[in-house]
Structure 1
Amino acid sequence: MSQEITFKDDEEPRMEDLTEYVTKTGHGVKGLSEMDLNNLPKQYIQPQSERPSSMKIKETDGVEESSIPIIDLSKWEDPWVANSICDAAEKWGFFQIVNHGVPVEVLEDVKQATLAFFGLPPDEKKKYFKENSVSNHVRLSTSFIPEAENALEWKDYLSLFYVSDDEALALWPSACRDQLLNYMRKCEVVIKPLVEALMKGLSIDEINETKWTQLTGSKRINLNYYPKCPKPELTVGVGRHSDVSTFTILLQDDIGGLYVRAPDGESWVHVPPIAGALVINVGDALQILSNGRYKSIEHRVIANGTKDRISIPLFVNPKPSEVIGPLEEVLENTGEKPKYKNVLYSDYTLCFYRKAHDGKGTLDFAKI
């Protein structure tokens, strides 16, 4: 049985006790949330500059301005679609897609599977924590990188690196495995045309096998669980960061809470949940490969004081062994000088996973 640790609401839990509870016993932040604490453990209190109250929300006449672009993919052959994708990738780095071809029932299955996994008993979930997991490709964690963070994030997440169906069938939790594999297969209907549109926007019409591997050679899927929080104004669900992917396909529930940095670089806009939609965002790898034309954008998640929230990002990445840098075709077509050096993608991601979320700080690793 899991070791039971209780925290009195009028006593501040010691860091070692809290760490033991959320990272070793399988309870995670979900377990803290279920205690119905009135106060937030100090380990989760963010500095003033990172709290929701510090966010400048983009508004017009007191009403939240329309958020990131929404693109209807029902007619891929219409040049407007590809142009809209490239325009959004340049100006916003984020957009939502509707009528994308991934069945709604598949999306719902994935959300239910996520809830099923996090609903497992702590003894069952703790098998997937880093210290216990049989593979680094299957990892349950809390916050982001607890050992590197001065203030923890109010989130639990399961991270699954895809190698093959056989490995997934053998190692991924049965509570969510089949639904996630089906979802990943169904997302191919989105991934291929997105890549083609983005490359065409860079005047690259021919994508050979080598380039496909460089752009989409690996995939990782995360299940994010954001439990309701006793003091959401003092913490974050996820801190400011950009993804290290080529691009990310995000499925969110109907709760809301995702904010992205607006093109003005100062304010934030909410990404409202749209039934059946998927959120697409450019990652650092594509910003590097496009020599900065497509932008990876800071985003963050605020905590919720009344409801649990889930989201499922599918990260489409270069293969870890790939070297990424500005594509030769981009430099030749534009006459630009490279803004980034060539880096081994696995080295780039290692840099990202060694530190707390810090906006777009990882990009400095690749800058010339």
Structure 2
Amino acid sequence: MPTTLSSINFSDVTDFVVNEGHGVKGLSDMGLKTLPKQYVQPLTERITTSTIIVDDSIPIIDMSNWDNNGPKIGEKICNAAEKWGFFQIINHGIPLEVLDNVKAATYRFFKQSAEEKNKHSKDFSPTHNVRYGTSFTPQAEKALEWKDYLSLFYVSDEEAAALWPSSCRDEALDFLRNSQIVIKKLLEALMKGLNVNEIDQTKESLLMGSKRINLNYYPKCPNPELTVGVGRHSDVSTLTILLQDNIGGLYVKKLDSDDTWVHVPPIDGAIVINVGDALQIMSNGKYKSIEHRVMANGNNNRISVPIFVNPKPNDLIGPLKEVLEKNGEEPIYKQVLYSDYVKHFFRKAHDGKETIDFAKIN
């Protein structure tokens, strides 16, 4: 197994990174000076300064004093979901220690040997619910993305105790548990904006019946201007709850723009929230899931920890009847099985917003 830069034949980079489990961290740790050709993105996919604006920013919403100011805060949440699809929340109630611990656990997992991490890869993991990997869908991509990840689908505390890696299990579970209250507040506010005044058990299952937490690692990259950490996409979730570190690199496409991207600045203790495709479909297009992508970094390693709040795999998703009844709207989207929608997303490379076409009424 190659362990030094000189011993790698770069025609075999994909095998080293993907199949042997070294990930892009393995390449970065060897002190690469030049980006392997497998990671060079087409010009149209690169993030350039000509398309980035720095004088605009996604909304920042203060969640404190919810008991007294809930309706006003709720209006801000709904407005942000319509106009931006992204916003940051502060004073959300998740202890800062919980956020710091899961960031530390992310570094701890990825510092392990390739052999240890590869125990959780597609070929070796004892469960589909735990997956270590790199890029997005390597077998379908013309150019790979500069990212490694650990994906943990939550079923129960018992399964997590048995199958999640011990290096990060407790911290990931703690972040999941502590996010529950804020997730429910966000969804209650967003549902009120759709004429749904109460979230019963059926609605709760539909909106947040399953959850997945990812630990993402973006190692220092040679020639970051030639590649991406993550390509253009929107999430397939109901909501995504994202913890950034202080490095930055997340860019959001401005609504109704051809190619204008806004940086999401790291704010200490803040959580980034974004609308996913499932909520866009359920809101019949009122709330927007927005394209976003991640820039590679030439100076620093970077991490992020998203929680994807999803319908259950066997749920049918489509425009909510309350939404259609409120304004006499015609549905833009058909009813689709959520697991079919997710499979469609993961079969192909990142392609902006094209996945949503799978659910549109022709």
Give the TM-score of the pair, scaled to structure 1: 0.95
Instruction: Give the deviation of 1:73 after TM superposition.
Output: 0.2
Distance 2:170 2:329 in 1: 46
In the alignment, is the contact (CA less than 8 A) between 1:12 and 1:41 conserved in 2? no
SS at match of 1:346: helix
Give the percent of matched residue pairs that are identical in Structure 1 and Structure 2.
65
SS at match of 2:286: coil
Distance 2:343 2:3 in 1: 33
What's the counterpart of residue 15 of structure 2?
Answer: 20
The match for 1:82 among 68, 74, 81 is: 74
User: 1:46-83 deviations in whole A, cap 9, x for unaligned?
Assistant: 0011111275112xxxxx21310000000223122000
Moved more, 258-267 or 106-115: 258-267
Moved more, 308-317 or 122-131: 122-131
Q: How does 1:336-351 map to 2 (within 5 A)?
A: 336-351=329-344
The match for 1:289 among 277, 282, 288 is: 282
In the alignment, is the contact (CA less than 8 A) between 1:75 and 1:81 conserved in 2? no
User: 1:167-226 deviations in whole A, cap 9, x for unaligned?
Assistant: 000000000000111111100121111110000011110211111101100000000000
Instruction: Give the partner amino acid of 1:175.
Output: S
In the alignment, is the contact (CA less than 8 A) between 1:23 and 1:129 conserved in 2? no
- State whether structure 2 residue 52 is matched by structure 1 residue 44: no
The match for 2:293 among 287, 297, 300 is: 300
Q: How does 1:103-122 map to 2 (within 5 A)?
A: 103-122=95-114
- State whether structure 2 residue 177 is matched by structure 1 residue 182: no
Q: How does 1:225-304 map to 2 (within 5 A)?
A: 225-266=217-258, 267-304=260-297
User: 1:240-295 deviations in whole A, cap 9, x for unaligned?
Assistant: 00000000000000000000011242310000000000000000000000000000
* Contiguous gaps of at least 5 residues in structure 2: none
Distance 1:262 1:20 in 2: 37
Instruction: Give the partner amino acid of 1:95.
Output: F
Q: How does 1:74-223 map to 2 (within 5 A)?
A: 74-77=64-67, 78=69, 79-223=71-215
User: 1:72-102 deviations in whole A, cap 9, x for unaligned?
Assistant: 0002231220000000000000000000000
What's the counterpart of residue 325 of structure 1?
Answer: 318
- State whether structure 2 residue 27 is matched by structure 1 residue 32: yes
Instruction: Give the deviation of 1:19 after TM superposition.
Output: 2.1
Instruction: Give the partner amino acid of 1:290.
Output: S
Q: How does 1:357-368 map to 2 (within 5 A)?
A: 357-368=350-361
User: 1:289-322 deviations in whole A, cap 9, x for unaligned?
Assistant: 0000000000000000010000000000000010
Distance 2:309 2:221 in 1: 31
Distance 1:321 1:54 in 2: 42
In the alignment, is the contact (CA less than 8 A) between 2:21 and 2:133 conserved in 1? no
Distance 2:35 2:309 in 1: 35
- State whether structure 2 residue 65 is matched by structure 1 residue 68: no
Moved more, 109-118 or 262-271: 262-271
In the alignment, is the contact (CA less than 8 A) between 1:159 and 1:221 conserved in 2? yes
Q: How does 1:302-317 map to 2 (within 5 A)?
A: 302-317=295-310
Root-mean-square deviation over aligned CA pairs: 1.3
Query: Moved runs in structure 1, 4+ residues, more than 4 A?
Result: none
Distance 1:212 1:57 in 2: 37
In the alignment, is the contact (CA less than 8 A) between 2:212 and 2:309 conserved in 1? yes
Change (3 A) 1:217 1:182: same
Moved more, 182-191 or 96-105: 182-191
- State whether structure 2 residue 328 is matched by structure 1 residue 335: yes
Instruction: Give the partner amino acid of 1:259.
Output: Y
SS at match of 1:152: coil
Instruction: Give the partner amino acid of 1:180.
Output: A
